[in-house]
Amino acid sequence: MKQTLNTIASLLLAATTALAADAPHPAMEPRHRSLFKDHCIGCHGPEKQKGKFRVDDLSFSITNIETAERWQKVLNQMNSGEMPPEDEKQVPNELKTDFLDNLSNTMVAARRALADRNGAIIVRRLNRREYGNSLRELLGVEINITELPADTGNGSFDTVGANLFMSGDQFEQYLGLGRAALDEAFEWQAAMGLEQKVRVEAEEAGKHVRQAYEDDLDGLERAKKWVALVDAAIDRPENAAVVAEMRKTAKTAKTEDAVRREWAKIKGAPAPEEFGFKTLENSADLALRKLGFGAKAGIGYGRPYREAYLNMPALDRGAYLTIGGGGEMLSYDCLTLQVPHPWKSIVGDYVLRVRLAATDKATPDRKFVEFGIDPRQGPVISTHQVTGTMDAPQTIEIPITLTRQHKESNRTLYIREKGALDHFLVTRRVVGAAKAKNGIGPEFAIWVDWIELERLPDSRKDKASGIAALGIPLDDRATPAPAEVRAALERFCFEAFRGVKPETGYLDRLSRLYDTRLQSGDKHSSALKRTLAVVLSSPQFLYLAEPAPDDKRRPLTGPELASRLSYFLWGAPPDATLRDLSARGELQKPEVLAEQTTRLLADARSKGFTRPFVHQWLALDRLDFFEFNREVFPSFDNSTKLAARQEVFETFEHILRHGTSVQDLLKCDYAVINPVLADYYGIAGVKGDVFQKVSLTQDSQRGGLLGMAAVLAMGGNGERTNPVERGAWVLRKLLNDPPPPAPANVPQIARLAGQALTTRERLQAHQEEAQCASCHRKIDPIGFGLENFDAAGQWRTQDTYQVKDDMGKPVKDASKTWTIEPNATLHKGPAFKSYSELRAIIAARGDAFAGGFSMALIEFALGRPIGFRDEALASEMIAHAKRNDYSMREFITALVASGEFHTK
Residue 352, SS3? strand
**CB nearer other proteins, residue 39 or residue 904:** 904
Which segments of 415-503 does DSSP mark as H helices, in order? 424-438, 465-470, 482-496
* Cβ at position 745, least distance to other proteins in Å: 5
Dihedrals φ, ψ of 25, to 5°? -100, 125
Rounded CA gap, 784 and 776, in Å? Answer: 12
- The angle that helices 284-291 and 202-234 make with each other, rounded to 10 degrees, is 110
* Cβ at position 67, least distance to other proteins in Å: 12
* Cβ at position 789, least distance to other proteins in Å: 19
Contact 877, 14 (CB under 8 A): no
CB atoms under 10 Å from CB of 658, counted, come to: 13
* Cβ at position 196, least distance to other proteins in Å: 32
* Cβ at position 725, least distance to other proteins in Å: 10
* Cβ at position 685, least distance to other proteins in Å: 37
**CB nearer other proteins, residue 481 or residue 619:** 619
**CB nearer other proteins, residue 5 or residue 114:** 114
Dihedrals φ, ψ of 810, to 5°? -60, 135
Position 758, amino acid: T
**CB nearer other proteins, residue 31 or residue 804:** 804
**CB nearer other proteins, residue 120 or residue 381:** 120
CA angle 213, 214, 219 (to 5 degrees): 100
* Cβ at position 865, least distance to other proteins in Å: 6
Burial 565-577 (b: 16+ CB within 10 A, else e): bbbbbbbbbbbee
**CB nearer other proteins, residue 61 or residue 154:** 154
Dihedrals φ, ψ of 160, to 5°? -75, 110
Please give the DSSP secondary-structure letter assigned to residue 730: I
Position 684, amino acid: A
Nearest Cα to Cα of residue 309 among 286, 296, 291, 328: 328
**CB nearer other proteins, residue 64 or residue 90:** 64
**CB nearer other proteins, residue 692 or residue 722:** 722
**CB nearer other proteins, residue 242 or residue 545:** 545
* Cβ at position 320, least distance to other proteins in Å: 34
Strand pairing of 670-673 and 446-455?
unpaired
* Cβ at position 569, least distance to other proteins in Å: 23
* Cβ at position 495, least distance to other proteins in Å: 15
Nearest Cα to Cα of residue 892 among 854, 863, 836, 866: 854
**CB nearer other proteins, residue 519 or residue 797:** 519
Contact 346, 339 (CB under 8 A): yes
Contact 154, 171 (CB under 8 A): no
Burial 541-562 (b: 16+ CB within 10 A, else e): bbebebeeeeeeeeebbbbbbb
Residues 6 or more apart whose Cβ sits within 8 Å of residue 782: 723, 726, 727, 730, 731, 824, 826, 838
Position 81, amino acid: G
Please give the DSSP secondary-structure letter assigned to residue 583: H
* Cβ at position 19, least distance to other proteins in Å: 16
* Cβ at position 632, least distance to other proteins in Å: 11
* Cβ at position 536, least distance to other proteins in Å: 10
* Cβ at position 859, least distance to other proteins in Å: 11
**CB nearer other proteins, residue 531 or residue 736:** 531
**CB nearer other proteins, residue 506 or residue 795:** 506
CA 127 to chain centre: 18
Half-sphere exposure of 351 (CA within 13 A, CB side): 11
* Cβ at position 840, least distance to other proteins in Å: 31
**CB nearer other proteins, residue 165 or residue 424:** 165
Rounded CA gap, 624 and 713, in Å? Answer: 10
- Alpha carbon dihedral 860, 864, 869, 872, in 10-degree steps, equals -10
H or E stretch covering 372? strand 368-373
Rounded CA gap, 401 and 693, in Å? Answer: 28
**CB nearer other proteins, residue 112 or residue 208:** 112
Contact 448, 321 (CB under 8 A): yes
Q: How is the chain split among helix, strand and coil, in percent rounded to 5?
A: 50, 10, 40
* Cβ at position 183, least distance to other proteins in Å: 18
Rounded CA gap, 673 and 647, in Å? Answer: 6
**CB nearer other proteins, residue 328 or residue 859:** 859
**CB nearer other proteins, residue 685 or residue 808:** 808
Position 301, amino acid: Y
**CB nearer other proteins, residue 142 or residue 725:** 725
Rounded CA gap, 115 and 865, in Å? Answer: 8
Nearest Cα to Cα of residue 319 among 204, 427, 212: 204
Residues 6 or more apart whose Cβ sits within 8 Å of residue 83: 40, 74, 77
Residues 6 or more apart whose Cβ sits within 8 Å of residue 549: none
CB atoms under 10 Å from CB of 293, counted, come to: 23
Contact 643, 677 (CB under 8 A): yes
Please give the DSSP secondary-structure letter assigned to residue 338: E
* Cβ at position 506, least distance to other proteins in Å: 5
* Cβ at position 114, least distance to other proteins in Å: 6
**CB nearer other proteins, residue 21 or residue 65:** 65
CA angle 789, 791, 796 (to 5 degrees): 35
